[in-house]
Copies of this chain bind each other. A is one copy, B any other.
């Protein structure tokens, strides 16, 4: 980049794109002061030119088809804020990189799926592909791993990576409301997608972030294996209440670590002790914990979502490019990043929280404890709560550590048992 005038295109003007555009306009002077570069927005694109937006847009630079931008304008930096994992998002980013245009995007679906290929393209064309906003918006976690902790040997990264799920779990605990009532509230507040919140709730969103984190932390290609992914859809207020009595909170955790050279990535709800740091990260907050040598344990917490936090990350990427901080998107040249070897999660072990809804009649508990014994899972604690109205009972069992494949076998036999009335709830202890 020889010039001091930098041409910028913003593609996608949803909540994030629109907020970003306003930030770019209002912080122009500040950016010039900090980097010596004058930015100008020369192209914008979105599906609907006339949609009502929070901040006004300059329609004279509007492109209906984002791919026309490349033909008609000279662009230095492109922001992609459409958010698809493939389709037009991929097409635009690919075309930009091939045309030696730097790309900044908050698109975790795209990066977790095509990050290796796009990173290779960026490297080949000597431009930046920046995606700080794709993981935990308000927390500069990717920059921290790539730059702040560069040269540390990291062995584990974990945390609360989905603000929507964390809000729902915290709010259920606070209000004692059911999952569906709190989900509705989250949607009304704009935390969860109004149409389809599935990708947040089933753990997919957190898993995409974990993949990006693994890749950066352990210098590997992005894993293709899904390993262990469970969401919070089956958690009831009852579970939160019982967990609380046992001094636990339920959190959706994303965890990635290297075990004997193998990559173990997973996302699942977990019982965490109320007295721990992670047990006290509530509401829409995100938190990431990084363990490494020589640095020890680092904790980063901040707002994980919303256009403000996301724009903050997008702007930091922009300034990094403007300062000429050219670097490999994943910290290493492509040829040095190897495919990870996946850890066999069946060999992992956890203490379990099991909640079973059973018929309230004699002999049931002994039947169930026998099933546990058959699977060589030993019991730490049992709580039986009768529900006289329904002639049923809840049995909650906390087990000692047991191997994952044994836990799965146990769940299968419990599902078949006639005295077990509903699908058992299994939550791992962290």
Q: Which residues of A contact B (CB under 8 A)?
A: 19, 23, 27, 30-31, 33-34, 132, 138-140, 143-144, 147-152, 277, 280, 287, 292-303, 306-309, 311-313, 315-316, 319-320, 323-328, 331-333, 336
Contacts and interface: CB of A to CB of B under 8 A. Distances in A.
Nearest to A24: B151
Contacts of A323: 325-327
B299 A150 contact: no
B312 A149 contact: yes
Nearest to A314: B151
A309 B324 contact: no
A294 B326 CA distance: 26
A296 B313 CA distance: 12
Given A143-B143, A149-B316, A308 B296 contact: yes
Contacts of A294: 19, 23, 307-309, 311-312
A320 B140 contact: no
Given A294-B311, A323-B327, 11 more contacts: A19-B294, A23-B294, A34-B332, A147-B320, A148-B316, A151-B312, A151-B315, A292-B312, A295-B312, A298-B303, A299-B300
A306 to B, nearest CB: 8
Nearest to A284: B296
Contact of A143 (B30, B147, B298, B303): B147
B298 A298 contact: no
Nearest to A290: B302
A252 to B, nearest CB: 19
Contacts of A277: 280, 301
Contacts of A331: 34
Given A34-B331, A295-B312, A319 B138 contact: no
**Closest 6 A/B residue pairs (Cβ):** A140-B148, A294-B308, A299-B301, A298-B302, A295-B312, A296-B303
Contacts of A327: 323
Interface residues of A, dominant DSSP? mixed
A60 B211 CA distance: 47
B328 A325 contact: no
30 contacts: A30-B151, A33-B333, A33-B336, A34-B151, A34-B332, A138-B296, A138-B298, A140-B144, A144-B144, A144-B148, A147-B147, A147-B316, A149-B312, A149-B316, A150-B315, A150-B316, A277-B280, A280-B280, A287-B299, A294-B309, A294-B312, A295-B309, A296-B306, A297-B303, A298-B301, A299-B300, A299-B302, A320-B325, A323-B327, A325-B325
Contacts of A280: 277, 280
Contacts of A27: 151
A298 B288 CA distance: 11
Nearest to A30: B151
Nearest to A292: B312
Contacts of A306: 296
A312 B290 CA distance: 13
A202 to B, nearest CB: 26
A148 B143 contact: yes
Given A143-B148, A319-B151, A138 B295 contact: yes
A247 to B, nearest CB: 14
A194 B109 CA distance: 53
Nearest to A279: B280
A324 B325 CA distance: 6
Contacts of A31: 151
Contacts of A300: 298-301
